[in-house]
Amino acid sequence: MEGLQELTFWQKAHLYYQKGLENGDKRIENWLLVYSPVPVICIILCYLFIVWAGPKLMAKKEPINLKLVLIVYNFSMVCLSAYMFYEFTVSSWMANYSLLCQPVDYSDSVLALRMASVCWLFYFSKYIEFCDTIFFILRKKNRQLTFLHVYHHSTMILNCWVGLKYTPGGQSFMSGLVNSLVHVAMYFYYGLAAFGPSMSKYLWWKHYLTILQLLQFFLVTLHTVYNLFADCNYPDALNLIVFFYALTLIALFSHFYYRSYITSRTHDLGKCKV
């Protein structure tokens, strides 16, 4: 203890940082973008720089037509999301996962590594989703670069990294499973929309996507609260991170839904009465 007390603040911080890195799952520490948060944070900062600089660079340029790219990208994301949903479902089913209280299997069994693999793929897919923002910038759809959009894309990466680093499986599989299913619907909608105005009549269900996303966050929140009070052999610190993060998303998506669908509908009814 005396030796630790003699260390400077920065030496102590570095010591705790190294200890935190070493406490991660040893099976996956050499997988891409897993061992240290430094590359992850650098990529997030690059993303934020692109969000800031991109619209300025595109200001005097014409929007780029990305119709074919968007169609291919969105339906590829549908396939990827469907595959992840399948892997989460099959891996948890075969391992006899509990839907309410499931500790992480840190063994080298085939099923445990299969679950860890799909958790990594889910985490890595969040980097791929940065393309959503880049496409907005290239098409000069700057109104889509809302705080909600940027916050969700940038923070989800770090949240997923923490979960993957320390708990690649266990009860955290629920968030990945539900999110993958929601993204199947979401990217399917975006894929249809990419075809242009001819698809408008088939896109009446846009606001249901936001409702689906909100249901997802409520489900994850309830699942996390249950595990906070149950004896599930799962780190409470990670449950708290997920809980507070889900609350921020519920607040932001609720505000988006109210502003986009409730307020606009009231405004349209007001115009009709006039």
Write out the two tokens for 124: 């890595």
Q: Is residue 22 part of a domain?
A: no
Dist CA 184 CA 180 (whole Å): 6
Minimum mean pLDDT range among 13-22, 154-163, 196-205: 13-22
pLDDT at 9: 79
User: Does the structure show a pLDDT above 80 at 156?
Assistant: yes
Residue 274 banded pLDDT, cuts 50, 70, 90 = very low
Residue 272 banded pLDDT, cuts 50, 70, 90 = very low
- Which residues constitute the domain of residue 86? 28-273
Angle at 195 between CA 189 and CA 198, to 5 degrees: 100
What percent of the chain clears pLDDT 90, i.e. is strictly above it? 78
Q: Is residue 1 part of a domain?
A: no
Residues 187, 81 contacting (CB under 8 angstroms): yes
Long-range CB pairs of 100-103 (<8 Å, 24+ gap) are 100/223, 100/226, 100/227, 100/230, 101/171, 101/226, 101/227, 101/230, 101/231, 101/232, 101/234, 102/170, 102/171, 102/173, 102/232, 102/234, 103/170, 103/171, 103/232, 103/233, 103/234
Cα–Cα distances (Å) from 261 to 118, 141, 188, 200, 206, in that order, read 35, 20, 21, 17, 10
Which letter does DSSP use for residue 170 in this model? G
Q: Is residue 18 part of a domain?
A: no
Give the tens place of pLDDT for each residue, 69-128.
999 999 999 999 999 999 999 999 999 999 888 999 999 999 999 999 999 999 999 999
Write out the two tokens for 174: 């629920």
pLDDT at 268: 47
Strands (E), 86-160: none
Number of domains comprising the chain = 1
Minimum mean pLDDT range among 91-95, 130-134, 186-190, 198-202: 198-202
Residue 126, CB-side half-sphere exposure with 13 Å CA sphere: 26
Q: Is residue 16 part of a domain?
A: no
Dihedral angle computed from the Cα positions of residues 225, 228, 233 and 236, in that order, rounded to the nearest 10 degrees: 110
Dist CA 173 CA 73 (whole Å): 25
Would residue 152 show up in a list of annotated catalytic residues for this protein? yes
Residue 97's φ and ψ, nearest 5 degrees, are -65, 145
Residue 219's nearest CA partner among 171, 186, 184, 256 is: 171
Question: Whole-number mean pLDDT of the chain?
Answer: 92
The catalytic position among 14, 149, 152, 207 is 152
Dist CA 137 CA 64 (whole Å): 9
Dist CA 64 CA 194 (whole Å): 13
Give the tens place of pLDDT for each residue, 211-254.
999 999 999 999 999 988 888 889 999 999 999 999 999 999 99
pLDDT at 265: 60
Residue 5 banded pLDDT, cuts 50, 70, 90 = low
Q: Is residue 9 part of a domain?
A: no
Number of C-beta neighbours around residue 101 at 10 A: 16
Residue 219, CB-side half-sphere exposure with 13 Å CA sphere: 18
Q: Is residue 239 part of a domain?
A: yes
What percent of the chain clears pLDDT 70, i.e. is strictly above it? 94
pLDDT at 80: 98
pLDDT at 37: 96
Residue 17 banded pLDDT, cuts 50, 70, 90 = confident
pLDDT at 264: 61
Strands (E), 106-248: none
pLDDT at 270: 44
Give the tens place of pLDDT for each residue, 38-85.
999 999 999 999 999 999 999 999 999 999 999 999 999 999 999 999
Q: Is residue 19 part of a domain?
A: no
pLDDT at 7: 75
pLDDT at 72: 98
**Secondary structure (3-state) at 160:** helix
Q: Is residue 10 part of a domain?
A: no
pLDDT at 139: 97
